[in-house]
Structure 1
C-alpha cells in the first residue's frame, strides 16, 4: 500500500510559491532601481540644463556691466571729442574683455552644482554696426559621476538709437535726442569740420571757399539755412538729413551733398521727401560715404535682446 505525505507536498508548494514571489520581488526591485536611475538621469539632465541656462543669464549681466564700464571709459578718454565714438567704444569694450572676463565658474548651492562660462579673449571692431560675442555655458551636476549640458549663445551689442532710426518712419521728423549745436557754422577755404554724432544745427550753416568739407557722423537736422558760397564743397551725412528750408546754392558750382540715408524737407506743416537733393557726383559721394562709421549716442550702446541666438 502506498501512502501520500500531504505535509511534504504542502511544504514543497509553499517553497515553490515563496520562490515565485521572491523572483517577482527581485524583478520588481530591479525595475524600481532601473526606473530610479532613469529618473535620476533625467533629473540630472534637467538640472544640468537649468544650470547652463543660469550661465547664459549670468553672461547677460556680465556683458551689461562691461558695456557700462566701456561707455564710462569712452567719456573719460582725452580723444572723446575728436575720435569716432563707435570705434572708441568698441576699443574700450575690447580692452575690458582682455582683462580676463572669461572664463569663470560659479557654484550654485554647493560644489556639486555649477556652471562654467567661456567666451572670447578679445572682440573684433571691423563691423561697428553691431558687435557679436559668443558665449559657451556648461552646466554640471555631481562630482565623481557628472552630468553636463552645454548651451552656446551669441549676444549682439548695438546702438539703440541707430536701430530706432533704421526702423522708424523718417516722415515723422528727426530724432528727439540729437546733440544741439547753437552757434553759427562757417567753413571756408579748404577747411574741414567733422562731428562724430548726430547733430541738430539750430543756426545757419555755411560752406564757403574752395573744397570745404562738412561731415556729420549720423543724422543731421538743419533748423536754419544751409548755404553753399564756394566751389567743390561737400556735405556728407551718414544718416538721414532734415532741412527746415531749401538748400541755398550760391556757389559757382561743383558742390555736392552726399546723404547715406534719406533726405526730408519741412513743407506745408509736415515732413516730405526732399526730391531736389541729388548726389550730383556719385563717385565723390561713394568715396566720402562708403562704409560709414557713425553713432547717435554713446550712452545707448546695449545688448540687443531680440537678436540673442541660443543653441542647446
Structure 2
C-alpha cells in the first residue's frame, strides 16, 4: 500500500480551523454581551418603574395628609378618602398612576370608624412599556375628640374687646317697668351701640344670660338711676363712660371677664358693689371718681374679683397689676353675689368636639 507523506498545505488547514474556532467563540461572546446589555437595560427599566411606583405612593401620601389636616374640624369618612382619586378612581401623572387596590374602593372602616384603612396600588411605567406595581396601606387614626372652649384659667390674658358672635344688637336699651319693678332678661349675647339705661324711678333688674357689650358711641355706656341690679352670665364690656348715679344703689355681677372704661363717675362705697368672677381689664389711663368728685381709693370701691387685674400699657399690651384698689373675692362676697336678685348662672360655653385625626407614620408596602 502506497503511503502519502506530502504535508504541504497542512499549515493552511490549521489556520482555517483556528479562524473558524475564534469566529465561533467571538460570535458566542458577542451574543452573550448583547444579551447581557439587553438584560441590564430591562433591569434598569424595572428599577426605574419601581421607583416611579414608589413616587406615586409618596404623592398619594401627601394628598392624604393634606386632606386629613384640612378636615381636622369635621368627621372623616371613607367616602371622603375615596373621593381623593376622583370620579375616574385614578390619579395619574406622567410616569405613574394610582388607583384603589381592589379596583373600586380604597378605604374601609375599622373598629367602628375609629380607624380608616386606606389601600392603594401605584403603577410606575418606563417608556410606556415596563411596569412595576407597589401596593401601600395607610392608616388614619382618630385619637379621640378634643374639647374646644374657654379654659378655666385666669392666667390667660384675653380682654373682651371684640363684639361677641351671633349677638342681638340694639342702638340703645332702656329697661322697661313691670309691676312696679323694671325687669328685663336677655337670653342671647347683647351688643348696644349707644348706652344701657336702668332705673328711671323704679328698682331695676337686668339679666344678660350671655355676653353684654356696650359701645357707648354717644359718650356714655352705662347710666344708672335709683336701685339697679345688673347680672351678666358671660363677659361685660363698657367701652365708654359709666355713671353710677351717686345716690343710686347699684349691684353688678359678671360671671366671666369684665372691661371697664377710662372714666367711671359717682362711686359711693355704701351704694355701689361689683362682683367679677373672672379677670378685670382696665385701660391705660383710668380715673374713677367718688360722688364728691375725688379720686376713688380702695375703701371707696366695693369691687370683688375672683381672677386677676390687668391694665393696658402704651405698647398696647395688657400686664398684670399687683397693687390695685380692689378686693379679692372670698366665700362671703361670693355668697353675697349669688344671693342678688340679678344673679344669673355662668353661661354655658359652646364646646365643639373636634375629631383628632392623624395619618400614622407606619405604611405597609408590598412590591408586585
Aligned partner of 2:210 in structure 1 is 196
After superposition, residues 95-174 of structure 1 pair within 5 angstroms as: 102-104=77-79, 105-106=82-83, 107-108=85-86, 110-113=88-91, 138=118, 140-142=120-122, 146-150=135-139
* CA shift digits 1:89-130 (9 cap, x unpaired): xxxxxxxx7xxx744231326213477698xx99xxxxxxxx
Q: 1:43 to 1:17 in 2, by over 3 A?
A: same
256-265 or 278-287, which moves further after superposition? 278-287
- Picking from 231, 240, 246, the partner of 1:214 is 231
**Contact 2:212 / 2:235 at 8 angstroms: preserved in 1?**
yes
What is the deviation of 1:192? 6.3
Aligned to 1:236: 254
Partner SS for 2:264: coil
Match of 2:198 among 185, 189, 206: 185
Per the alignment, do residues 150 and 15 of structure 1 end up closer, same or farther by CA in structure 2, a change over 3 Å counting?
Answer: same
SS of the residue corresponding to residue 224 of structure 1 reads strand
8 Å contact from structure 1 (residues 263, 277) kept in 2: no
Q: Does the 8 Å contact 2:207/2:232 carry over to 1?
A: yes
Question: SS where residue 47 of structure 2 aligns?
Answer: helix
Higher strand share: 2
Q: Distance in 2 between matches of 1:218 and 1:308?
A: 33
Aligned equivalent of 2:327, options 250, 258, 278: 278
- The CA distance in 1 between the partners of 2:205 and 2:149, in whole Å, is 30
Separation in 2, partners of 1:310, 1:204: 57
Structure 2 match to 1:36:
48
Give CA deviations for 1:276-301 in whole Å, capped at 9, x if unaligned: 23234356549979x96577xx9xx9
The structure that is helix-richer by fraction is 1
Cα pair 1:153 1:310 within 8 Å, conserved: no
Residues 230, 167 of structure 1: alpha-carbon distance in 2 compared, 3 angstrom cutoff? closer
Cα distance in 2 for residues equivalent to 1:221 and 1:215:
12
Q: Does 1:16 align with 2:28?
A: yes
Following TM superposition, by how much is the alpha carbon of 1:140 offset from its aligned partner in structure 2, in angstroms? Answer: 3.7
> What is the number of residues matched between the two proteins?
241
Deviation for aligned residue 1:239 = 2.0
Q: 1:203 to 1:19 in 2, by over 3 A?
A: same
Partner of 1:7: helix, strand, or coil? Answer: helix
Give unmatched runs, 5+ long, in structure 1. 67-96, 123-133, 161-165
1:69 counterpart residue number? none
TM-score with structure 2 length normalisation?
0.46
Counterpart contact for 1:238–1:259, Cα < 8 Å: yes
- Residue 245 of structure 1 corresponds to which residue in structure 2? 264
In the TM superposition, residue 142 of structure 1 has moved relative to its aligned partner by: 4.9
Partners of 1:117 and 1:185 in 2: CA distance: 62
Q: Contact (CA 8 Å) 1:256, 1:280: kept in 2 or not?
A: no
**SS class of match (1:110):** coil
Measured in 1, the distance between the counterparts of 2:107 and 2:234 equals 40
8 Å contact from structure 2 (residues 212, 237) kept in 1: yes
TM-score (norm 1): 0.53
What is the CA deviation profile of residues 200-244 of structure 1, one whole-angstrom value per residue up to 9, with x for unaligned ones?
Answer: 1623247948xx56124124216322479559x551241232133
Q: Distance in 1 between the 2:357 and 2:199 partners?
A: 45
- Please give the alpha-carbon distance, in whole angstroms, between the structure 1 residues aligned to 2:244 and 2:147: 35
